Amino acid sequence: MNTSNSSNEQTGGISRRNVLAAGALTAAAVACQAGRAPAASAAAKPAIFYAPHQDDDAIGLAGSILEHKAAGRPVYLVLVSNGRNPDLAKLMNTNPCPLTTWDSPHPCAAGGRHNLSWPTDGTTKVVAARTAEFTASAKALGVDKVINFKVVDDGFDSVSAYNKLVDRIEAKVRALAAQYPGASHKFTAGWLERTETHKACSDVAYRLMNDGTISDVRFNHVYAYGRPRDRRADGAAYVLDIPSSHMKTKRNAMYAYNTWDPSRNLYALGYHSVPDLLEAAHADPREFIHTLPSDYRPGKGD
């Protein structure tokens, strides 16, 4: 997920204040949670999950990851882009925290004060901190392998830049498909979502499905949590009801994105970026799996 805008949707379940309190997840707690996962069968083909940005894994993929692990599948989690984000850098340099001043305010894990003086290129400091959160989330989920494509997140400016982004991601996914024949591939439903990088991942899947490189493909709708609760399943081929034990682990993964601990390079950037989506996913024990529509149209679009 790569946005610092917030929707106005209010979510039920755990309060924002409790989300904040629960977010101070210790490294020991993460390791303990990860240790509960069953061992994957060496003979099983891996399920490869692709997170376009740091935080997509916890918001919209975690329940599906845990379902596959419970079935004995090896699970590989890919971070597709580096997640550069100038808006987050500017937000971290701001006092008081803008989240606390919105009409519908959110708590700030830093107590409402940052003033970090980060460079505003969106790469320096931001990428490393976002990736630290991703690493903590992956540990909480107990995935078997973490793969970082480190693709520069720069497909926004033009159609040409977008097409080059798709090409770079395609080359890396194609290489993984060759390395792990028979693997299943789990992307996000980029045609329903809001950023070029999400759509680029779907375009890559479209290409590779059409040429027979990959065949077992599903798409989790991460931005479904931005919809009203009774409309989140619209268009889904399958709704995963996440069992309570898995939901506890998924929430631990989400807390990695709302932990303020500069000593571990954790600055709650995920929560500062998309607080409403994290809160909605925290309260809703479902994930929404789509298949590629028959009238799918690749390309950057509007």
Q: pLDDT tens digit string along 69-90? A: 999 999 999 999 999 999 999 9
Residue 17 Cα to chain centre, angstroms: 22
Distances in whole angstroms, Cα of residue 272 to Cα of each of 59, 60, 106, 190, 264? 14, 17, 9, 22, 17
pLDDT tens digits along 179-223: 999 999 999 999 999 899 999 999 999 999 999 999 999 999 999
Which 3-state string (H, E, C) describes 202-239? Answer: HHHHHHHHHCCCCCCEEEECHHHHHCCHHHCCCCCCEE
CA-closest candidate to residue 215, choices 146, 292, 297: 292
Q: Identify the H or E element spanning 24.
A: none
Is pLDDT above 90 for 239?
yes
pTM recorded for the entire structure: 0.88
pLDDT (tens digit per residue) in 85-100 = 999 999 999 999 999 9
Q: Which of 162, 139, 143, 142 is nearest to 152 (CA)?
A: 162
Distance of CA 213 to the CA centre of its chain: 24
**Residue 14: its pLDDT value, please?**
32
Contact present, 284 and 225 (Cβ < 8 Å): yes
pLDDT above 90 covers what percent of the chain?
83
